[in-house]
Structure 1
Amino acid sequence: MSENKSITQRELQILNWIKQNPLISQAELAKLANISRSSAAVHISNLMKKGYLRGKGYIISPKNSVAIIGGINFDILGAAERKINPKTSNPGRIRHAIGGLGRNIALNLVKLGVPNYFITVYGNDAEGEMFKQDALKNGMDITYAKQLFNAHTSNYLYLNEASGERFVGLDDMKIFDKLTPEFLTTRLTPVQNSEIVGVDANLPEETLKWLTQNYSGPIFAKAVSLNKTLRFMPILDKIDTLVINSIEVLTLTGITANDERSARYSAEKLFDLGIKNLLIYIDEKGVLYGNRSQLSFLPEPATAINNTNGCGAAATASLIQSRLQHLSFEETAKNAATALYLTAGSYDPVNDELSIELINETKRTFY
C-alpha cells in the first residue's frame, strides 16, 4: 500500500519517532507525546491502516556491514583567535554542534558510503531531539540507539588554541554508564552480524570486555581522554585496530610520542601489548600507521588546522572503509591521514564535504 492517505500532525510526529527508533514501545511513544498508551495504540493502528506502517516491527532496516557503539555529545566549541590567556576574556568564535566520538565515526562512514548501525544512548531533552533530527537529516541509522527518559544527553565543552590544539575540555557524560552489557545484549544480533564493530572509550570497561567475549570479528577502537583510554588496557590484544593521539599514547605506554621516532617506539610497545594495527596522530607532526610488519609515517601537510576535535573519528571511519574495500596498505594509510586533515580544516567535528571522491582528490596534493 502506498503512503498516500492523509496523516494528522500527531500521527506524523509518532511516525517520525518510529522512523528514528523502530524498536520503540507504545509506552515510550506515549511518554514522548504526553498521551495515554491506549491513545498511542490508536495512532499506530491508524498509521497501519493508512499504509505508513506494516506489522508489529513497524519498519525493517536493511542489514548493515558495520556497527558503531559509542557516544553522542552536544559540543560547545570555543576557538581562540590568538594564544589563550586564562586570566582574562579571549576573542574568538563559539560554535554549537552535534558531536560525540561514536556519532562522528558513524556519520563519517555514511559520508564514505558505508551503511552502519549507530548504537548509543541519549536523553529525553532538547539536545536529544536535536540529535534525532540531525541523524534523520544525515541518513544515519539509529535503529538500535535508545532515548532514555529522565536523563540528560551528554555535553562536551572545549576550548581550542588558535592553532586548533585543545586547550581544555569539560565533559558531562554520565549517561554513557548506561551502555552496559545488559543494554547490548538486546542488540546482540546486529552486532554479531556486522563485518566490523567500531567502539570508543566512552563505553564502560566491563562493556568493552563483554563485547570482546561476544563478538568474534575485527574491533576498531578509538581512544578518547586520558582516563577513559585506560579502559582499553585489559583488551588490547583483542583490538584489531587502535586509533590514538600522542597524548593518549602516553597513558598506555608511558612514552611521549612527539615526533616520528618516538611514535615508532610507542607503536612497538603497543604491538607488544597485543595491538595488531595502529594509527597514531601527532599535532603539528603527522600520522604513523601500520602494524608489526610495516609502518608508514605521513607528515602533516601544509593545510589549515582549525579544529582537531573529530580528526581521529574521520581516520577511524576511513580505516574501516578501507578494510571493507580491501585497499592496499599504502592507500589505507594515505586515505586515513587525508580524512584526518580534511576534518582538521573544518570547524565542525565532521567535515560536511567529506567523501571518497574528496579524499582521492586531496591525497594527491597531500601525499
Structure 2
Amino acid sequence: MALTERERQILEKIEQNPMISQNDLAQLCGITRSGVAAHISNLMKKGYIQGKGYVLTPPRYVAVIGAINMDVYGIADNDVVGESSNVGSIVSAVGGIARNVCYNLGHLGVRNYLISVYGDDEEGENVRSDSFANGIDITYCKQFSNSSTSRYLSVVDANGKQIVALDDMKISENITPEFLEQREQIIINAEAVVIDSSLPPQTIAWVCSKVSRPIFARVVSVNKATRLLPVLDHVDTLVLSEAESRLVSGIAVHDEQTAHVCMEALAKTGVKHTLMFVQGVGLIYRGDDETVTVPLPESASHAMRYENGAASGAMSALLWARMEGRDDSQSAHLAAAAAALSMRQVTSVFPEINARVLLEHAGLGA
C-alpha cells in the first residue's frame, strides 16, 4: 500500500534510528505524539514496520552540518574605484558551504542530510523553495521564529576576483551541541560527516567527540580558521586555502614547496588528508599514498573565475571519490574538476554537475 508523505517522513526517521521514541519523532516532525502513534499504527498495518527496533539497515548517506546562506554577489563591470559607487551587476542565490555540499553530493548520487538552521523571513522561505527544487533534504534543519536567515555578501572585480566579503551568520550560533543531540543518531550513523569552521567551537568539539566515521572539515575564512585547532586529530580530510594555512599550521604558504611543508605539519597533528588551494599553483591534495598537484586552467570560453564555490565543489568531489573507492590521483583530479566547474558562474554551484560530467572534466572518462 502507498505511503502518505507524513508516513514516509516518519519511516525515514525510524530507518535512521530504529529505537527512536515517539516523543522524538513528534518533535522532529512537528506533530503531536498521538499523531505519531497513529501513523506508526498505519505503517505496521501496511507492513513497513514489524515492531520497534526491527527495520532494514538504511543505505549509506552523508551528514552535512553547517550554514545555509542567502548569498548576494556584486560583480563590477570595470576596475573598482574605492569610496565611490561602481557600475556592475548584483545577483542573489541560496548558498552556504553546507547547502552547496549537499547540492553537489545529491547531484553526484550520494544520499545526504543537511543539518542547519534558517529564519522565518523571506530568505528562509527561499531556502525551503530551493531545497525542494533541488532535492536537498532539510528534514533535520530547523526554522527559527523571529530570526534572520544567514547572509553572505561578496564583491568581486571585473575578472571575478573577490575584493571583500561580509557574512551575517548569527543564526548559526543556534547549531549548538544541544541542537545536535536531538539529531545524534543521524549524525553518528552517517558514512561520513562534513563540518566547517563557521560552527561554534563547542559544536565542533561535540561532533568530533561523537563521530567515529571520517570527518571532512572546511576551513572558512581567516577569522574562523582557528576553531578547528583543538580537533585536528579528529579530522580525516581538511580543505583550506593558502591564506588560511598559517592559522591552522603555523606555516605561511606561498608556493608548492611551502604547501608540502604545511601539509606535513598538519599530518603530524593527526590530519589524514589535506586539500589546499594555492594561488599560481592550483590544487594540491595529500592523500594516503601520494601528494598530487593539479593546475586549475582557465578555459578560453570561461575566462571568468569565481572562487566562492570552488572549495565546496572540491570537497564534495573528494567525498564522492572516497565513497567510489578512487585512488589519490583520481581523487585530486576529480576535486580539481569540480572546483573548475564551480568557477564558471558567480553562484557557488555548477547547476549541471553529475558523475558523468565530473568524470569527463577530470579526464577519467565514464
TM-score normalised over the length of structure 2: 0.83
TM-aligned CA deviation for residue 321 of structure 1: 0.5
Contact 1:165 1:283 in 2 (8 A): no
Identity %: 36
User: What amino acid is the match of 2:322?
Assistant: R
Match of residue 289 from structure 1:
285
Aligned residues: 342
Residues 357 and 150 of structure 1, relative CA distance in 2, 3 Å threshold: same
Residues 63 and 131 of structure 1, relative CA distance in 2, 3 Å threshold: farther
C-alpha distance in structure 2 between counterparts of 1:182 and 1:105, whole Å: 24
Match of residue 348 from structure 1:
347
C-alpha distance in structure 2 between counterparts of 1:165 and 1:267, whole Å: 26
Match of residue 181 from structure 2:
185
Offset from partner CA, 1:219-275 (integer Å, 9 cap, x none): 000111112111000001110000101111122233332322222222122222221
Offset from partner CA, 1:83-141 (integer Å, 9 cap, x none): 32222222222100000011111111011110101100111111111111111111111
Alignment of 1:119-130 (within 5 A): 119-130=115-126
Match of residue 18 from structure 2:
none
Bigger shift: residues 132-141 or 288-297:
288-297
Residue of 206, 209, 212 corresponding to 1:216: 212
Match of residue 358 from structure 2:
359
C-alpha distance in structure 2 between counterparts of 1:266 and 1:203, whole Å: 24
Pairwise CA RMSD: 3.4
User: What amino acid is the match of 2:305?
Assistant: N
C-alpha distance in structure 2 between counterparts of 1:63 and 1:263, whole Å: 37
Match of residue 116 from structure 1:
112
Is 1:150 paired with 2:149? no
Contact 1:271 1:292 in 2 (8 A): no
Residues 26 and 236 of structure 1, relative CA distance in 2, 3 Å threshold: closer
Bigger shift: residues 219-228 or 251-260:
251-260
Residue of 96, 100, 114 corresponding to 1:104: 100
Match of residue 318 from structure 1:
317
Match of residue 136 from structure 2:
140
Is 1:78 paired with 2:77? no
User: What amino acid is the match of 1:129?
Assistant: E
Match of residue 333 from structure 1:
332
TM-aligned CA deviation for residue 25 of structure 1: 5.6
TM-aligned CA deviation for residue 192 of structure 1: 1.1
Is 1:175 paired with 2:171? yes
Bigger shift: residues 348-357 or 260-269:
260-269
C-alpha distance in structure 2 between counterparts of 1:117 and 1:158, whole Å: 27
Residues 82 and 251 of structure 1, relative CA distance in 2, 3 Å threshold: farther
C-alpha distance in structure 2 between counterparts of 1:25 and 1:123, whole Å: 21
TM-aligned CA deviation for residue 71 of structure 1: 0.4
Contact 1:271 1:291 in 2 (8 A): no
User: What amino acid is the match of 1:316?
Assistant: M
User: What amino acid is the match of 1:359?
Assistant: L
Offset from partner CA, 1:263-293 (integer Å, 9 cap, x none): 2222122222221100001244300001475
Match of residue 63 from structure 2:
67
Structure 1 stretches of at least 4 aligned residues deviating more than 4 Å after TM superposition: 1-4, 21-30, 60-64
Residues 167 and 64 of structure 1, relative CA distance in 2, 3 Å threshold: same
TM-aligned CA deviation for residue 63 of structure 1: 4.7
Bigger shift: residues 222-231 or 255-264:
255-264
TM-aligned CA deviation for residue 26 of structure 1: 8.5
Contact 1:66 1:197 in 2 (8 A): yes
Alignment of 1:10-29 (within 5 A): none
Contact 2:289 2:328 in 1 (8 A): no
Match of residue 253 from structure 1:
249
Contact 2:10 2:29 in 1 (8 A): no
C-alpha distance in structure 1 between counterparts of 2:127 and 2:274, whole Å: 30
Gaps of 5+ in 2: 15-23, 43-47, 50-55
Match of residue 205 from structure 1:
201
User: What amino acid is the match of 2:96?
Assistant: G
Alignment of 1:3-42 (within 5 A): none
Contact 2:68 2:98 in 1 (8 A): yes
C-alpha distance in structure 1 between counterparts of 2:274 and 2:28, whole Å: 45
Residues 124 and 339 of structure 1, relative CA distance in 2, 3 Å threshold: same
Contact 2:104 2:316 in 1 (8 A): yes
Bigger shift: residues 250-259 or 157-166:
250-259
Residues 124 and 348 of structure 1, relative CA distance in 2, 3 Å threshold: same
Bigger shift: residues 338-347 or 298-307:
298-307
Gaps of 5+ in 1: 5-11, 31-36, 49-53
Residue of 158, 161, 165 corresponding to 1:165: 161
TM-aligned CA deviation for residue 361 of structure 1: 1.4
C-alpha distance in structure 2 between counterparts of 1:285 and 1:217, whole Å: 31
Tell me the SS of whatever aligns to 1:364: coil
Tell me the SS of whatever aligns to 1:164: coil
Tell me the SS of whatever aligns to 2:362: helix
Offset from partner CA, 1:147-185 (integer Å, 9 cap, x none): 111211101111112232221111110111111111111
C-alpha distance in structure 2 between counterparts of 1:182 and 1:84, whole Å: 45
